[in-house]
Amino acid sequence: MSDKPVIMVTGASKGIGAAIARRLAGAGYDIWLNYRSDHEAAEAVRDQIVGLGRQCRLLPFDVADEAAMRVVLEPLLDEVTPYGLVHNAGITRDGLLAMMRTEDWTQVINVHLTGFFLVARMLIKPMLSARRGRVVAIASTTGETGQAGQFNYAAAKGGIIAASKALAREVAKRNILVNVVSPGLIETEMIAGLPLDKMLAGVPLGRVGKPDEVAAVVEFLMSEGAGYITGEVISVNGGLHM
C-alpha cells in the first residue's frame, strides 16, 4: 500500500458500502474493501478505485467471524494503522417477532452489532497508539424510530448508535472521532420489493435517496472540516424522521 491514509469499509462490494468506498477513494484515501462472498462485485469496485488513482486491498471475510477476521487483518495491522473505519456490513431477515426464528435474530445481530464490536476493537487499538482516527458506523432510521417487522434489525441498528456514542466518549482524548450516519430509504437491493409508493408518502422530499448521498456525509465526517464532531447521529432520510 502507499503512504496515503487508509480507510477500511466493511460490506463494500455493493450498494451504500461501494458508494462510500468510491467516494472516499475520490477524496484521496486508499481503501481496504471488506466483503463476504461476492468476489466479482468487489473486484469491480476495486477496479473503479484504481481508476481513480488510489489503491484498494480486498479483504474477504464475514465480519461476524472473529477467527477469519484476525487471519486477514492482523498481518495488515502490523504494517499499517488505518486512518478510518466505516462499518457498513449488514443483512436483513425481516419478520414479525411472534414468528421470528432465533437464527434470524442471531444472524442480524451478529453481522451488524457483533461485527462492529469485532472490527472496531481490532482497529481502535492501533488508532489509540497513533492518537488519531475516525470511525463512522452506518445505522438506519429503523434504529432511531423502530419499525414493525424489523425487531432484529431495529435492535442491531439501535445498538450501533448507542455503542458508537459510548466509544466516542472513550476515545475522544486520543483524537479519535466516532459518529453515525443513519440512512432512510436508499436505492439499494435492501429496498427491492418494498411498497415504495406507500412508504414515500411519509418522506417529505418525496423520493428515495441515492447511495452517493450517504457516501457524501461519510466523506465529510472523515475530513478535517469535521474535526469537532463526535458522538453524533447524522440522518440521511429525506425528512422521514426529524
Side chain identity at residue 231, one-letter code: G
- Assess whether pLDDT exceeds 70 at residue 1: no
Structural domain of residue 125, as residue ranges? 6-236
What are the strands of the beta sheet with 233-236, ordered from one edge?
A: 56-60, 30-35, 6-9, 84-87, 133-138, 176-183, 233-236
Looking at the domain assignment, is residue 65 inside a domain? yes
Give the separation between CA 167 and CA 45, rounded to whole angstroms: 30
The radius of gyration of the chain from alpha carbons, rounded to an integer in Å, stands at 17
> Does any domain span residue 27?
yes
Single-letter residue type at 55 = Q
Residue 30 lies in a domain: yes
Is residue 242 one of the residues assigned to a domain? no
Q: In 3D, which of 156, 161, 152, 139 has the Cα closest to residue 237?
A: 139
Predicted local confidence at residue 6, as pLDDT: 98
Give a yes or no: residue 1 inside a domain: no
How does pLDDT run across 190-202, given as a tens digit for each residue? Answer: 777 777 888 898 9
Does 210 have pLDDT greater than 80? yes
Number of domains present in the structure of the chain: 1
Q: Which residues are catalytic?
A: 153
Phi, psi of 47, deg, nearest 5 = -60, -40
**241 inside domain:** no
Query: Can you give the pTM of this predicted structure?
Result: 0.95
Does a structural domain hold residue 169? yes
| pLDDT reported for residue 3 | 52
Using CA atoms, how far apart are residues 156 and 163, in angstroms rounded to an integer? 10
The SS3 call for residue 28 is: coil
pLDDT band, very low/low/confident/very high, at 203 (cuts 50, 70, 90)? very high
Asked whether the predicted pLDDT for residue 2 surpasses 80, the reply is: no
CATH of the domain at 186: 3.40.50.720
pLDDT for 197: 80
Instruction: Supply φ then ψ for residue 188, to 5 degrees.
Output: -140, 180
% of the chain surpassing 70 pLDDT: 98
Rounded Cα distance, 102 and 186, in Å: 28
Mean pLDDT of 155-180: 98
Residue 100 within a domain: yes
